[in-house]
Amino acid sequence: MLQTERLRVAIKESGYTYEKLGELTGIAKSSIQRYATGVTQRIPVDAVETLAHYLGVSAAYLMGWDDNETKDELVIPDVLKDVKVAFHGGAFEDLTQDDIDRLADYAELIKKQRKEKMERENGTKK
């Protein structure tokens, strides 16, 4: 069962209003309020996961299964360190590790293609 106190604290610490959190998550503001106050006891798993994602905590923490509130830190590959990306406020925290890995792979592909194009144009590669 969702730990309502943990949810309330995570919302407060995030700085989000119920309204803003609803906009970000696609979950109705009234539903989030009912979850946080304990009025609604049965919360869909996808709602718990989505709330946890935007609040920067793990779903297991919100459910009371884990006392470690933080989710795993994302690993940002060097190829993306200097990239300015505008995902929900310009940060990587709204992306999954898989999303970041895919972005890094794509950045490497673009670099490779650019290098090959330059080599063709300069006649250094056949």
User: What are 19-57's pLDDT values in tens digits?
Assistant: 999 998 999 999 999 999 989 888 888 899 899 888 888
Residue 86 has what pLDDT?
Answer: 44
Whether residue 89 sits in one domain with residue 41: no
Indicate whether 125 pLDDT > 60. no
pLDDT on residue 23: 92
115 half-sphere exposure, CB direction, 13 A CA radius: 6
Calculate the CA dihedral of residues 113, 114, 120, 123 and round it to 10 degrees. -140
Is residue 70 in some structural domain?
no
In a domain, 32, yes or no: yes
**Listed residues 63, 92, 112: the one ending a domain:** 63
Residues 43 and 9 in one domain: yes
Residue owning tokens 């590669």: 125
Instruction: Tell me the residue range of the domain where 10 lies.
Output: 4-63
Do 19 and 49 lie in one domain? The reply is yes
DSSP character at residue 62: H
Count of structural domains within the chain: 2
Higher pLDDT, 77 or 120: 120
Separation between Cα atoms, residue 76 and residue 79, nearest integer Å: 8
Q: How far is CA 15 from CA 7, 8, 21, 86, in A?
A: 13, 11, 9, 20
Read off the CATH number of the domain in which 33 is found. Answer: 1.10.260.40
Residue 53 within any structural domain of the chain: yes
Q: Looking at the structure, do residues 49 and 9 belong to the same domain, yes or no?
A: yes
Query: How much is the pLDDT for 95?
Result: 67
Residue 103's DSSP bridge partners are: none
15/49 same-domain check: yes
Q: The whole model's pTM is what?
A: 0.55
